Structure 1
Amino acid sequence: MDTSQIIIAFVVGYALGSVPFGLLLTKFTGAGDIRSIGSGNIGATNVLRTGRKGLAAGTLLGDMLKGTVAVLLMRWWAGSDAGLIAALGAVVGHIFPVWLKFKGGKGVATYIGVLLAVSWIAALIFGVVWGVVAWLTRYSSLSGLAASGLTPVVLAFMVGGNAALLFAALTALVWYMHRANIQRLLAGTESKIGQSKTAAPEA
């Protein structure tokens, strides 16, 4: 890949990743500005605090698929490395969208979406780990942390090379964005799945 391809792949990934589905869906359906609810986060977990499960599901799907589309589009255009660069751009775009003054979501849904495009089996393993941890603990944040922490190891065995390194970096970014959640998990004050939107916020 030359420099121009790297820049284009990242910019396209960023542009797609920065589309704030949680904010758009809640506003268009009359649920208000999601940034004024719960943690103020634009992701699906906070959208669920509106009590609108359909909106939360739509947000999750949109935030995932924008990452998937970014990777597949850039892979088709310039190969697998371009797809990985787009994956990085998509997750960064979701977390730091220029349209929202760089205050976006925490990246887990878009992380899953780009992972799906890189390796659907690794994405399936992510989903299983997330589901088991969520079922056992009822903590969405812990589920995402556990599943993302395992992902680079899974990719190292299944895909190897650049993909594993990229997801190690993405995992570090996702964990950084969940630093407040980690503190609350350690303190036992983290809100659980299905808890009232007036409960302790996720961020």
Structure 2
Amino acid sequence: LKVILPLSLLLYLSVSPIIIGFSAIALIAGHIWPLFLKGRGGKGVVVYLAALLMLEPIGLLLFGLIAFIASVTPLPFSKVMMVAMGLPPLLTLWQESPGVGLCLGVGYILVVIAHTFPVHPRLLTKEEQI
């Protein structure tokens, strides 16, 4: 709800698409690096998918279809999902709003960064820190 409610309100008020896009970036970044938890938040996947639900539902359906296909094939699921998560911003760039598409792309990059670099470095073992 922390993504759906603010984005719903912005869409209801017919706010500029670029403000909606920057709001999506702020919501994703705020989930990954929350100030009140000293920067130790989540990975941002669900927040990103909730933003897609509000801003690019067709792209979210495409992502779900790819997720289903990846789950029944021998392909490496996590790698397919990382690629599939990048398709909805491209779809938004192509068909609707370039500003929102770019902002969703930045949100996608933030999720990839959260998965590439540990959000909780103190939880790593000594070998993983090296």
Please state which band the TM-score falls in when normalised by the shorter chain: 0.7 to 0.9
Structure 1 regions of 5+ residues with no counterpart? Answer: 1-64, 182-203
Q: Secondary structure at the match of 1:136?
A: coil
Structure 2 regions of 5+ residues with no counterpart? Answer: 119-130
Aligned to 1:70: 6
State whether structure 2 residue 40 is matched by structure 1 residue 88: no
Change (3 A) 1:135 1:68: farther
- TM-score w.r.t. the length of structure 1 is 0.50
Runs of 4+ more than 6 Å apart: none
Percent identity of equivalent pairs: 27
More deviation, 77-86/123-132: 77-86
Partner Cα separation in structure 2 for residue 134 and residue 69 of structure 1? 31
Kindly state the Cα deviation for residue 88 of structure 1 after the two structures are TM-superposed. Answer: 1.2
**For the Cα contact (< 8 Å) 2:21–2:104, is it kept in 1?**
no
**For the Cα contact (< 8 Å) 2:24–2:107, is it kept in 1?**
no
Kindly state the Cα deviation for residue 137 of structure 1 after the two structures are TM-superposed. Answer: 4.8
Aligned to 2:122: none
Partner Cα separation in structure 1 for residue 37 and residue 74 of structure 2? 32
Q: Which amino acid in the other structure matches residue 88 of structure 1? A: I
Aligned to 1:47: none
- TM-score w.r.t. the length of structure 2 is 0.75
CA shift digits 1:69-89 (9 cap, x unpaired): 221112334514332222111
Q: Give the structure, 1 or 2, with the largest relative contact order (CA under 8 Å, sep 6 or more).
A: 2
